[in-house]
Amino acid sequence: MSRRATLSGGDRLLELRAVPGKGRGVFARRPVQPGAVLCRCPTLRLERADCELLNRTSLAKHFFTGDGPDFEAWLALGPVTLVNHRVPPNADWRYVDGGPLGCFVELVALRPIEAGEEVTITYAGHSTYIIETPAGLLLLDRRAARERIVFEELAAQFAQGAVEVQRLLLPAVLGLFLFLLMRRAAIGASLYGRPAERLLPALTALPAAYVAVDYAENILSLMLFPPAMPASGTADLLAEAISWLTRLKFAALVISGILILRLTFGPKPANEP
């Protein structure tokens, strides 16, 4: 049985051979100059959960982790998946964003490769990230690509953090504003013939109730919506509870507003000169 096979596609630069101690390896069939593209392979996009599963299988060393902001990793469908590791390598791999065709992985010669020489890469990481744009190819080296990705990730985290801070602070700020406004409006005011200041514990309980209900709604929303994955029955209960909490929240908000207006513009105590 033959211990080598030509890899189809392109101009047939590569062939697969049995390699003692490694299993299989990819070899050049003729001399290759630096910068030459040895192969270009389509990929299957992998999510983080896919990678965690594959890391426990024999495919753990056969997919490519990604630096792109929208991807976690790729499984290349071609000879690049079978290229062995070596330091220093004589080839490198790079990403090519093919738009609607998805991501491609290209195998590129780093130095002259002789006919019959094994093609190797380092598994430590890729060197180049290429983005195809209408104006042409945007080529980024590893440092520039990582800096761009880090910047985009930080920007996304900042925007997400701003939203989370708003969700955390808004109920407390609004509740405190209603509480202080209620206390101020109650001074010298009456409610159903009684001095409003005597009713302050009950009146200020409404802004406190608004804050508590709003935070309860946020907590249940975190339990219901992604990345949380509750069971179907639990999801139905959470959705129903959120619906009722939303009604209670707005009821407390509206009643607080009405009472503040009533205390501000309503009649004063009868004994007030």
pLDDT by residue (tens digit) across 61-71?
667 665 555 55
Tell whether 76 and 160 lie within a shared domain: no
| Least reliable range by pLDDT among 146-150, 206-210, 216-220 | 146-150
CATH of the domain at 37: 2.170.270.10
Tell whether 38 and 120 lie within a shared domain: yes
Tell whether 182 and 106 lie within a shared domain: no
| Max CA distance (Å), the chain | 112
Query: Does the global pTM surpass 0.85?
Result: no
pLDDT range class, residue 213, cuts 50, 70, 90: very high
| Residue 189 lies inside a defined structural domain of this protein | yes
Encoded tokens for 162: 């701003």
Per-residue pLDDT averaged across 227-241, rounded? Answer: 80
What average pLDDT does the chain have?
77
Tell whether 8 and 128 lie within a shared domain: yes
| Residue 272 lies inside a defined structural domain of this protein | no
| Residue 143 lies inside a defined structural domain of this protein | no
Tell whether 244 and 158 lie within a shared domain: yes
Cα separations (Å) of 223 from 83, 211, 232, 233? Answer: 44, 19, 12, 13
Q: What is the pLDDT of residue 208?
A: 92
Tell whether 55 and 9 lie within a shared domain: yes
Q: Which tops the pLDDT comparison, 17 or 8?
A: 17
* pLDDT of 149 higher than 60: no
Q: What is the pLDDT of residue 54?
A: 76
Q: In whole angstroms, give the CA distance from residue 40 to residue 98.
A: 11
Residue 59 structural domain = 4-133
| Least reliable range by pLDDT among 146-155, 179-188, 254-263 | 146-155
* pLDDT of 247 higher than 70: yes
User: Among 133, 168, 185, which residue terminates a domain?
Assistant: 133
pLDDT range class, residue 130, cuts 50, 70, 90: very low
Tell whether 35 and 73 lie within a shared domain: yes
* pLDDT of 28 higher than 80: yes
| Least reliable range by pLDDT among 1-5, 81-85, 172-176, 261-265 | 1-5
Q: Which residue spans within 29-102 are E strands per DSSP?
A: 37-46, 64-65, 73-76, 84-85, 91-97
Per-residue pLDDT averaged across 35-52, rounded? Answer: 83
Cα separations (Å) of 258 from 8, 42, 179, 264? Answer: 78, 64, 13, 10
Per-residue pLDDT averaged across 150-157, rounded? Answer: 61
Tell whether 120 and 178 lie within a shared domain: no
User: Among 133, 167, 191, which residue terminates a domain?
Assistant: 133
Q: Which tops the pLDDT comparison, 125 or 247?
A: 247
Encoded tokens for 249: 């929240």
pLDDT range class, residue 177, cuts 50, 70, 90: very high
pLDDT range class, residue 251, cuts 50, 70, 90: very high
| Least reliable range by pLDDT among 29-38, 55-64, 248-257 | 55-64
Tell whether 81 and 108 lie within a shared domain: yes
**Strand-strand pairing, 91-97 and 128-133:** parallel
* pLDDT of 91 higher than 80: yes
Q: In whole angstroms, give the CA distance from residue 144 to residue 254.
A: 53
